[in-house]
C-alpha cells in the first residue's frame, strides 16, 4: 500500500508533535484558536481544544480530561486568546471519551456554559452513571471476550477494566443534543454538525462551509487511525458505520482539517482514501488468516495479525482492544458474506 503523507497546516504544531512536546496555543484563523490540553499517561499527550470567538465570549470544541493540570492549561490557553474560563458559553463535544468530555462538567460549573453531545453518546453517559449499569457493562465485556476466545482474565486485569469505566462516571449530562446536519446557531459561525459514528456511536465532526474547515475530533487524524472496535457500548457493526462516516466527510469541501490530536493538516479527501485503503488491507489480511486455519477464534486471529509491535510486547489491556478491533473487522466481513461465524464458546470463524 503506497504511503500517503498529509501536508501539515502548521509546521510548528507538527514539529511539537514529532518532537514529543506540547504545541503552542495558535490562532488558526481570525476568531479561531487551537489550545493544546495535556492528557495524563497517554501517548497522545494532548487534546487540541478549539475556541471559536462569539460576540460575547467563546464556544469551545472538546474540553480535555478532568484533571487540574488540564483545567489549568485550558484556562491559560484561553488567556492567550484573551478570554477567561467564565467567557465560555458552550462546549461542543465530539464524543464521550474522557479526553474530550472529561472537563465539560467542570467548565459548566464555572461558566454556566451549555454542553452539547450527539444523542447516541449522551445515551452512554446515562448508562455510566448507575453503579449497577457499570457492573453489567463489565460483565458484558467479560462475556464478549469469552466468546472471542480471550484467555480468562486475571482479577487484576478485570479490576483495571472496571476502573477504566468508573473513571468516566463523574461525567456531566449534556444540556443540548445535537443531531446530524444540525446548524449550531453560533453567532458569526455557519457551523454544522456531521454525525460520524464508528470510533464512538455518537461521534460528531463540525464543518464550516464558508471557512472550509472541518473540526474532525478523532474521526480523521493526520497519522493515526482511531480505534474502531466492537464492545458493549459500540454499535453492532462499528466498522461499517466508520467507513460510511468517512465517505460522508470525504464529500465536504474543506481546505483544512482540525483534528483533536497530533496536528492540523490539508488533504481531507486523500487522507480519507488512505484510511479506507488501510482498512481494506486489514480486512484482506484477516480474511486470509481465517482462510489459512480450519476454524479460528477472534483472539487467535488477532495474535496472527501484524501490529505496530510484536504481539508479545503488547500490554494485556491493549491486547484486549486489539482483539475488539479484530472483531470489528470480522463482523464487517461476516455482514458481507466473506467469512462466517460458528456460534459457540468461543465463536469460531471460517470461510463461507
Please name the residues in contact with 316: beta carbons below 8 A apart, sequence gap of 6 or more.
Answer: 153, 157
Long-range Cβ contacts of 164-168 (<8 Å, 24+ apart): 164/317, 165/128, 165/134, 165/137, 165/138, 166/134, 167/98, 168/96, 168/98, 168/101, 168/102, 168/128
Task: Give me the least distance between CB of 93 and Zn ion, in Å please.
Answer: 11
Shorter beta-carbon distance to Zn ion: residue 115 or 290: 115
Window 208 to 247, contacts with Zn ion (CB under 5 A): 218
Nearer to Zn ion, 234 or 297 (CB): 234
Return the number of the residue (97 or 231) whose C-beta is nearest Zn ion: 97
Contacts with Zn ion by CB under 5 A: the residue count is: 3
Which ranges constitute the DSSP H helices of 148-266? 155-166, 238-250
Shortest distance (Å) from residue 274 CB to Zn ion: 19
Nearer to Zn ion, 99 or 300 (CB): 99
Return the number of the residue (99 or 141) whose C-beta is nearest Zn ion: 99
Asked whether position 97 contacts Zn ion by CB under 5 A, the answer is yes
Question: Is 115:108 a contact under the CB 8 Å cutoff?
Answer: yes
Q: How far is the CB of 99 from Zn ion (least distance, A)?
A: 5
User: Residues 222, 261: contact at Cβ < 8 Å?
Assistant: no
Cell of 170: 463523574
> Which CB atom, from 99 or from 256, has the smaller least distance to Zn ion?
99
Q: How far is the CB of 94 from Zn ion (least distance, A)?
A: 8
Residue 26 is a binding residue for Zn ion (CB under 5 A): no
Q: Smallest gap, in angstroms, from Cβ of residue 345 to Zn ion?
A: 31
- Of 92-100, 149-157, 289-297, 338-346: span binding Zn ion (CB under 5 A): 92-100
Q: CA 269, CA 110: separation in Å to the nearest integer?
A: 39
Smallest distance from Zn ion to CB 172, Å: 18
Closest separation between CB of residue 42 and Zn ion, Å? 9
346 prior amide bond cis, ω within 30: yes
Classify residue 293 as exposed, middle or buried by CB count within 10 Å of its CB (0-12, 13-18, 19+). middle
Number of Cβ within a 10 Å radius of residue 334:
15
Cell numbers placing 119: 444523542
8 and 265 in contact (C-beta within 8 Å)?
yes
From CA 329, how far away is CA 349, in angstroms rounded? Answer: 12
Q: What is the CA radius of gyration of the chain?
A: 20
Which of residues 172 and 301 has its CB atom nearest to Zn ion in the complex? 172
Q: Compute the least distance from the CB of residue 225 to Zn ion, in Å.
A: 12
Choose among 167, 174, 222: nearest CA to 202: 174
Q: Which is nearer to Zn ion, 87 or 218 (CB)?
A: 218
- For 58, the enclosing helix (H) or strand (E) is strand 57-61
Q: How far is the CB of 177 from Zn ion (least distance, A)?
A: 19
Tell me, residue by residue from 161 to 200, as one string, x for binding to Zn ion by CB under 5 A and - for no binding: ----------------------------------------
Which one of the spans 99-107, 190-198, 204-212, 308-316 is the region binding Zn ion (CB under 5 A)? Answer: 99-107
Going by C-alpha positions, the residue among 125, 121, 117, 96 that lies closest to residue 178 is 117
Q: What is the smallest separation between the CB atom of 96 and Zn ion, expressed in angstroms?
A: 8
C-beta of 200 vs 297, nearer to Zn ion: 200
Q: By C-beta, is 95 or 279 nearer to Zn ion?
A: 95
x/- mask, Zn ion, residues 283-322, rule CB under 5 A, reads: ----------------------------------------
Cell matching residue 138: 463489565
Q: Does 256 bind Zn ion (CB under 5 A)?
A: no
- Give the residue closest to Zn ion by C-beta: 97
The site for Zn ion (CB under 5 A) is made up of 97, 99, 218
Amino acid at each position: 500500500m503506497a504511503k500517503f503523507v498529509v501536508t501539515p497546516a502548521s509546521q510548528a504544531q507538527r514539529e511539537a508533535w514529532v518532537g514529543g512536546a506540547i504545541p503552542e496555543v495558535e490562532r488558526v484563523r481570525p476568531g479561531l484558536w487551537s489550545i493544546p490540553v495535556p492528557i495524563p499517561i497517554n501517548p497522545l499527550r494532548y487534546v487540541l481544544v478549539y475556541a471559536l470567538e462569539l460576540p460575547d465570549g467563546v464556544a469551545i470544541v472538546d474540553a480535555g480530561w478532568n484533571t487540574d493540570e488540564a483545567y489549568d492549561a485550558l484556562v491559560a490557553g484561553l488567556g492567550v486568546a484573551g478570554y477567561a474560563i467564565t467567557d465560555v458559553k458552550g462546549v461542543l463535544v465530539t464524543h464521550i471519551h474522557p479526553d474530550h468530555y472529561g472537563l465539560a462538567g467542570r467548565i459548566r460549573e464555572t461558566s454556566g456554559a451549555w454542553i452539547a453531545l450527539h444523542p447516541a453518546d449522551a445515551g452512554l453517559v446515562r448508562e455510566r452513571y448507575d453503579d449497577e449499569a457499570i457492573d453489567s457493562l463489565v460483565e458484558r465485556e467479560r462475556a464478549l471476550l469469552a466468546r472471542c476466545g480471550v484467555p480468562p482474565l486475571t482479577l487484576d486485569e478485570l479490576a483495571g477494566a472496571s476502573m477504566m469505566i468508573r473513571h468516566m462516571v463523574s461525567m456531566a449530562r449534556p444540556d443540548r443534543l445535537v443531531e446530524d446536519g444540525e446548524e449550531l446557531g453560533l453567532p458569526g459561525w455557519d457551523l454544522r454538525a456531521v454525525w460520524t459514528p464508528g470510533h464512538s456511536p455518537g461521534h460528531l465532526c463540525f464543518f464550516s462551509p464558508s471557512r472550509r474547515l472541518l473540526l474532525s475530533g478523532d474521526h480523521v487524524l493526520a497519522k493515526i487511525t482511531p480505534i474502531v472496535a466492537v464492545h458493549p457500548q459500540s454499535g453492532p457493526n462499528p466498522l461499517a458505520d466508520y467507513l460510511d462516516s468517512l465517505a460522508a466527510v470525504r464529500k465536504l469541501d474543506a481546505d483544512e482539517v482540525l483534528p483533536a490530536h497530533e496536528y492540523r493538516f490539508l488533504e481531507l479527501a486523500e487522507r480519507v482514501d488512505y484510511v479506507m485503503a488501510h482498512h481494506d488491507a486489514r480486512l484482506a489480511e484477516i480474511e486470509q488468516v481465517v482462510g489459512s486455519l480450519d476454524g479460528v477464534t477472534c483472539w487467535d486471529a488477532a495474535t496472527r495479525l501484524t501490529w505496530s509491535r510484536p504481539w508479545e510486547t503488547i500490554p494485556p489491556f491493549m491486547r484486549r482492544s486489539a482483539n475488539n478491533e479484530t472483531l470489528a473487522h470480522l463482523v464487517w466481513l461476516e455482514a458481507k458474506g466473506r467469512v462466517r461465524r460458528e456460534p459457540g464458546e468461543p465463536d469460531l470463524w471460517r470461510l463461507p
